[in-house]
Structure 1
Amino acid sequence: MAHNYDNRSGGRHMTFDDDHDNSEYNSEDSFKRKNKDDDRFGLGKRQRFGGQNDDKPRFENWNSEAGRMSNWNSNKNKKWQDAEQFEEYFEDVPRPEKPRKYTISIAVPASILEETCKKDELRTYVVGQLARAANIYSIDEIIVYDDKCWRKKDVTGNDSQNLIEMMRMLLEYQECPQYLRKYLFSFHRFLGKVGVLNALNAPHHLLSKQWCEYREGVVLDRRNKSLSYVDVGLSSEITIDKKLDAGLRVTVKLPPETKDLTKRFGVVVSPDEPREKCGYYWGYTVRVAHSLTEVMTGGRFHKGYDLLIGTSDKGDDIKKTEYPTFSHALVVFGGVEGLEAAIEADDQLEATEPLHLFDFYTNTCPMQQARTIRTEEAVLISLCALQDKLLPKGKN
């Protein structure tokens, strides 16, 4: 059945060629008469396409073949124009001035979670403060150790091990870039209160619109014989020229020319390269030590730590102390009972006094007025006091 649109009515009224009597549909007041109680064709159409205050519907250009083609071509051209103009813009991350070869490590006892914190929410917050302090002062390694000084003397091995594991997991979670956590951390009761953690905003916690030559990523589970796909927090994954196991966290270097490509690629490098070659602070590693002895001997540096510093209110005034140059420094903090109790509780140690174990035994807050300083407070105070005192080798 052929039909034509009557343009005088804005496309709402239709005339039918083979109708014998269509006067009822073509009269000006036909819709007013038939729909005076329900304005479906007037108010309803204006609501959908342009709002109630429009004088005319917005589909009158489609009443002719030329109008339909013009509208279609306009939309098509706009689509391709938008696609051609689309570009991904990045904010360049400032590059440090010089490489950094030295490292600074800290050791913290897990007993502080049992001594001073009663609920998991507070324990999570305290660990988050330790991570924040380490990030602020560019700490490269955090050692979680068992100082054998638990408040409850009958505490079981499982209880102490759970608190050590909780501290380790929270520190690793906090250090991990946000876009990788969904791959590397499944739900665990130790992570139940992570909402109280403050963001680290570390240099390697990059946003999708920030450009840095290095990025942390995780290998995706996509099959390819010679390549691996890696999520590095950009708008799309990148490829690397190695076949690695899915779920592996990697540090990737992105060549400068890949910045303007839609299909980006990179190479896997050592996690130390951003620090050693460019001077970026690239987060910290976490190590667990089951005794104070293991803190000293279990490091990843083949020559060990060449500067050992113990902290205590019974130590020497930091203002009167001068430290030698170093390559790998270690600063050890005690729990509520101090490092003296930790040394006495370690059966493997031959040392009986802190000065027998450490190169320096330092009081980093000689003007202390409170009877005790919490360990998370001592870490922040000590790192602030030491930043102008520690002189790495080769630095003038």
Structure 2
Amino acid sequence: MPDAQVQPASNKRQRKNEPAQKGDGAVNELDTSKPSALFEPKQRHWTLSMAVPGSMIQNTDLFLQKNFLASSIARAAAVFCVDEIIVYDDNPSHIAPSLLQLQKKNHKKSKAELQALVDPHDEGYHNPDQFLFHLLSYLECPPFLRVPLMEKHPNLDKAGMLPPMDIPHHMKAYDWHQYREGMVVDAKEVEAYYNDSSTASKSKKNKNRNKDSSKTEEADEETFSYVDCGLSHPVKARTPVPAPIKSRVTVKFAAASDPPPSWPNLSREETEMLEVDIVAPEAPREEGGFYWGYNVRRAQSISAIYTESPFDGGYDCTIGTSERGVPLTSLIPTATSTSTPTTSQLPSQSQAAPATHLPTAFRHILVVFGGREGIEPAVASDPDLARHGLTKETAHQVFDFWVNLVPGQGSRTIRTEEAVWVGLMGLRAYLDALDHVGAVGDDDDDDDDDASVIG
């Protein structure tokens, strides 16, 4: 899905959605050499999260193939506008033989601590969760920020061979958009660079001005941060709290649609005159209606997906995928069906009767995909869930919905990377339909009064 909402600076990048008319009325041949799919911005306050096991990387011994598996997950997330990816350990109670040597020397360390000791060159084989997390983070990062924000690492040796993400915030310097991603840079270094680039007389004048107005500059440093957002010069962005140097931020330009007249060839003075604010990372989605990439986090188990959720109240609609579930199509609500969302914490053995349809309103939906042996073994090996009496047979109780993505599948197995594409595609029509009627994403506090808390 190309970033069609980004306005190009020249006609060279204009996309041709319709055949052009010749002067004599004839129609030119349809040009399919460039993508023409259009992303339609629409504000939404709800989020879509998905969880995948890091063990899926171990399905192959080839390092390049491991990279392409990670790329497949990242591309699926981008295509279907996923806001969060959780990489979880689907066998937290088991320590692989490759870690036994480390365990002899560090017998008091946990599995996660042992994996952290793995040689960086071996993470793709002995620390798959970190490898997948690392690649997903790298691919989501705008290309111009990867070098300054991502340290050189063996995990990324083949990342340059992976297909581009081509999502809205991966833009060129000449693309105009009201929002951009950037990195906070040192204001003193920026000023020093400008002074060094000036003529001797101008530099002297600037130094005198700086000396006479030091208090004013100190005030500016408290309320402004210089941000490198891919332009010729850093922008001076307003911020309520000074952001740390080399931190990634989202900036918003005051002009919504029209770029400055000299765009993209802005001088230093023109760049500093732009009205820019550092905003929350979710602002492009909630205010502008743009898909703005995904966040990635790790979870040491299935239960940690819930307990470490970044959202207040956790996920109010959770879906587990299994060949032993009900068909996903049977859960898609009709125009007249209703369902009250529930808030899922750690589940107990006793649970209300499952809902018959996916909810028509929610704030944070989560889809969990299993590894080679499915979700059931991941539930059984989770110490926290075991204390709640959950087993393979009762794994479905961890979720609000237990679905089969491909009933009557022709192959005996569906690989995780395949299930992700199938599952997100199956939910696409459901989410789009609810979007159009405006039923999803209502952030109404009254919903909490009716929500049933499982725990």
TM-score per shorter chain, which class?
Answer: 0.7 to 0.9
Pairs within 5 Å for 1:1-396: 89=9, 96-114=40-58, 116-148=59-91, 153-156=96-99, 157=111, 158=115, 162-223=127-188, 225=218, 226=221, 227-242=224-239, 243-256=242-255, 259-260=260-261, 262-263=270-271, 264-321=274-331, 322-325=357-360, 326-349=362-385, 350=388, 351-352=390-391, 353-390=394-431, 391=434, 394-395=438-439
Structure 2 CA distance, aligned partners of 1:220 and 1:97?
30
**Does the Cα contact within 8 Å between 2:380 and 2:395 map onto a contact in 1?**
no
Structure 2 CA distance, aligned partners of 1:89 and 1:340?
52
Cα displacement (A) at 1:278: 1.4
Q: Specify every segment of 5 or more residues in structure 2 that has no aligned partner in the other structure, as ranges.
A: 1-7, 16-37, 100-110, 189-216, 332-356, 441-455
**Equivalent pairs: percent with the same residue?**
39
Cα displacement (A) at 1:155: 4.3
Letter of the 1:165 counterpart:
Q
Letter of the 1:329 counterpart:
I
**Does the Cα contact within 8 Å between 1:139 and 1:284 map onto a contact in 2?**
yes
Q: 1:197 to 1:97 in 2, by over 3 A?
A: closer
1:348 match: secondary structure: helix
1:387 match: secondary structure: helix
Structure 2 CA distance, aligned partners of 1:340 and 1:95?
37
Which residue does 1:16 correspond to in 2? none
Structure 2 CA distance, aligned partners of 1:194 and 1:174?
8
Letter of the 2:80 counterpart:
Y
The answer to which of 225-234 and 210-219 deviates more is 225-234
CA deviations on 1:248-294 (whole Å, 9 max, x unpaired) are: 10000011177336323411000001101111000000011001100
| CA RMSD, Structure 1 to Structure 2 (Å) | 2.5
1:210 match: secondary structure: coil
- Aligned pairs, how many? 308
Q: 1:384 to 1:89 in 2, by over 3 A?
A: closer
Structure 2 CA distance, aligned partners of 1:153 and 1:209?
49
Larger RCO (CA under 8 A, 6+ residues apart): 2
Q: 1:305 to 1:222 in 2, by over 3 A?
A: same
CA deviations on 1:94-152 (whole Å, 9 max, x unpaired) are: 884531111110000001112x1212211111001000000000000000000117998
2:422 match: secondary structure: helix
1:335 match: secondary structure: coil
Letter of the 2:328 counterpart:
I
1:216 match: secondary structure: strand
**Does the Cα contact within 8 Å between 1:105 and 1:140 map onto a contact in 2?**
yes
Structure 1 CA distance, aligned partners of 2:134 and 2:319?
26
Letter of the 2:133 counterpart:
R
The answer to which of 302-311 and 315-324 deviates more is 315-324
Cα displacement (A) at 1:197: 1.3
Structure 2 CA distance, aligned partners of 1:307 and 1:139?
15
Q: 1:239 to 1:358 in 2, by over 3 A?
A: same
Q: 1:149 to 1:117 in 2, by over 3 A?
A: farther
Structure 1 CA distance, aligned partners of 2:61 and 2:292?
33
Q: Specify every segment of 5 or more residues in structure 1 that has no aligned partner in the other structure, as ranges.
A: 1-87
**Does the Cα contact within 8 Å between 1:215 and 1:252 map onto a contact in 2?**
yes
Structure 1 CA distance, aligned partners of 2:300 and 2:95?
18
CA deviations on 1:153-178 (whole Å, 9 max, x unpaired) are: 53424268722111111101000010
Cα displacement (A) at 1:237: 2.0
TM-score normalised by structure 1 residue count: 0.72
Rg larger for: 1
TM-score normalised by structure 2 residue count: 0.63
